[in-house]
Amino acid sequence: MSKLDIERLKAIVGPNNVKHDPADLYVYGSDSSVHRAAPDAVVRPGETSEVQALLRYANENLIPIIPRGSGSGMCGQVVPIHGGIVLDMKRMNRILEINLADVYCRVEPGVIDDDLNKALKPHGVFYPATPASSRIATIGGEIANNASGVRSVKYGATRESVLAMKVVLANGDLITLGARTRVEATGYQLERLFVGSEGTLGVIVEATLSFVPIPTFRAMGMVLFDSLDDAGDAIGAVMGKGVALSMLELVDSVAIKAVNNAMDLGLPDVEAILLIEADGMVKEAVDHELEAARVLCEKHGGTLTQLSYDPKERAKIFLGRKKLFPALSMYSDSMVSTALADDMAVPYSKMAETASKIHEIAERNGVVMTAYGHCGSGCMHTKILMDTSKKKSWEGARQAVKEIYEYVHSVGGTTSAEHGIGLSKASAFKREKADSIPIMKAVKAAFDPNNILNPGKLFDAPDDWVTATDLRYVASK
Ligand SMILES: Cc1cc2nc3c(=O)[nH]c(=O)nc-3n(C[C@H](O)[C@H](O)[C@H](O)COP(=O)(O)OP(=O)(O)OC[C@H]3O[C@@H](n4cnc5c(N)ncnc54)[C@H](O)[C@@H]3O)c2cc1C
């Protein structure tokens, strides 16, 4: 890599949009993962032409470029393991078009998910692939991670909402991918390749997204289970019968304890809770789906409580799930909640077994782990709660992560459901996708022959996540 020409960067984006003092480099050296590595500069483009000029300069000088949204990714995707320029895309945050007749909107990549939904709401429509981090996550980051969320069980992940995009390639060329139509069979669907590409193929500078009508009726309830296994069986039964829920979330006993400890919400002391929700334009249809879910859950030992159409009541029911992240951070004074082995997907029939296995592996390795998530889409979230000041905890976490992915792969599950790979999950990803990685590498080389775009990630990431970068925590004991 040549020495960075800061004056050249300033000439492209303006002096206020280039940062290189140590405090800024420190802040941009991490995301929501355990990793840390400082970039050489942070640049904030405001226009596509600036992105093109920056990439041309970086490509000529072999300087790494790390596209970044809000840095809420949990696996180190935006941690600049080889230094270079972090391309902060948040200034490109214009909503360019809301087209109700053709049911799409066009946005720049730095638009925050909640802001898009605020703009869509007066038109009676919403963008549904929203993750729990919607207050901060950008559309560019969501596309590059294939983010999904609580309603993806009905409306799909980001992939299902992306119709088209404009992308700046490593050499600075601007290309258009996809189409504004619902269907397209016009050659390779390259826009799909960019969904989940984690900033390694190009910089997304515009996205065309579909949206859906805001349903007139929405009802939510809580199903209580004395046995986690029964909750797992109920998930399989509900999904197997095609019950059209708009939310099917699992909360296990560790998570219940965490939320009750932190917020005194008085969640029932049971082994598992399923949150169920249905929505639609016709109340009888919503009732029908919820009744079908109730019957199936009861068959598997569940008891439906607190069912309500009232928005305030629904918000109360959902509060425990919503506050789970901060609650886990407050689980114990000596423990930190870390995003490790945090979002695999497994077949429905393995949901309960996976949750039990996670608890067993955690206990054996001296860490605490939860099991919760968007189980209607097969997504199982975990967090590893551990004393990050102790080297022994990191060894336990390393072993637990390894065993969990071995198990997940053995039952036909996949390494990541929605948070992506980055650095933290690279070795599990490499094991799972061993036979297709040569093709992925060829694709990467076709888009980015000089390997300047987010280098050292996915298949090029180190195998051991503990030593891949500095950690955000100091383990001294
Ligand atoms: C509290 C919390 C809750 C979360 N809940 C969820 C959840 O429910 N579902 C979920 O899926 N995720 C969740 N996440 C993870 C994360 O928020 C999402 O994956 C989100 O989509 C990342 O958006 P971002 O703007 O922060 O992207 P970043 O973290 O900044 O970047 C993510 C990836 O996108 C790439 N990228 C960013 N912009 C561009 C661009 N313009 N062009 C090309 N590549 C780009 C980056 O290089 C990187 O690889 C959560 C995170 C937190 C902290």
Sequential pLDDT tens for the chain (477 residues): 668 999 999 999 999 999 999 999 999 999 999 999 999 999 999 999 999 999 999 999 999 999 999 999 999 999 999 999 999 999 999 999 999 999 999 999 999 999 999 999 999 999 999 999 999 999 999 999 999 999 999 999 999 999 999 999 999 999 999 999 999 999 999 999 999 999 999 999 999 999 999 999 999 999 999 999 999 999 999 999 999 999 999 999 988 988 888 887 888 999 999 999 999 999 999 999 999 999 999 999 999 999 999 999 999 889 888 888 888 888 888 899 999 999 999 999 999 899 999 999 999 999 999 888 899 988 999 999 999 999 999 999 999 999 999 999 999 999 999 999 999 999 999 999 999 999 999 999 999 999 999 999 999 999 999 999 999 987 776
The dihedral region occupied by 424, where left means phi > 0, alpha psi between -120 and 50, and beta the remainder, is alpha
Nearest CA to ligand 1 atom 31: 141
Return the closest-CA partner of residue 301 out of 267, 266, 274, 269: 274
Centroid of ligand 1 to alpha carbon of 321 (angstroms)? 20
What DSSP designation does 30 have? -
Residues with CB under 6 A from ligand 1: 31-32, 66-74, 77-78, 89, 109, 131-133, 137-138, 140-142, 144-145, 147-149, 198-199, 203-204, 325, 418-419, 454
> What residue spans define the domains of the chain?
93-213, 215-420
Å from CA of 285 to ligand 1 middle: 34
- 93-213: CATH topology: 3.30.465
User: What is the spatial distance between Cα 299 and Cα 398, in angstroms, rounded to a whole number?
Assistant: 39
Tell me how far apart the alpha carbons of residues 111 and 193 are, in angstroms, rounded to a whole number: 21
* Model pLDDT for residues 273-291, shown as the tens digit of each residue: 999 999 999 999 999 999 9
Mutational pocket test of ligand 1: of 74, 91, 133, the residue with most ligand atoms within 8 Å of the beta carbon: 133
* Closest protein CA for atom 36 of ligand 1: 141
Q: What is the pTM of this model?
A: 0.96
Do 57 and 76 touch, CB atoms closer than 8 A? no
What is residue 2's predicted lDDT score, i.e. its pLDDT? 63
Q: Positive or negative CA dihedral for 257, 341, 235, 325?
A: positive
Domain boundaries 215-420, CATH class? alpha beta
Residue of 322, 354, 355, 328 lying closest to 255 (CA atoms):
328
Residue nearest to atom 21 of ligand 1 (CA): 142
Q: How far apart are CA 89 and CA 46, in angstroms?
A: 8
Task: Report how far Cα 171 is from the mean position of its chain's Cα atoms.
Answer: 28
Residue nearest to atom 11 of ligand 1 (CA): 147
Cα 380 to middle of ligand 1, angstroms: 18
Rounded to whole angstroms, the Cα distance separating 242 from 233 reads: 14
Secondary structure (DSSP) of 350-369: GHHHHHHHHHHHHHHTT-EE
Ligand 1 centroid, distance to 288 Cα (angstroms): 35
Ligand 1 centroid to 70 CA: how many Å?
7
From the list 75, 77, 57, 50, the residue with the least C-alpha distance to 66 is 77
pLDDT, tens only, 4-56? 999 999 999 999 999 999 999 999 999 999 999 999 999 999 999 999 999 99
Q: Give 142 Cα–ligand 1 centroid separation in angstroms.
A: 5
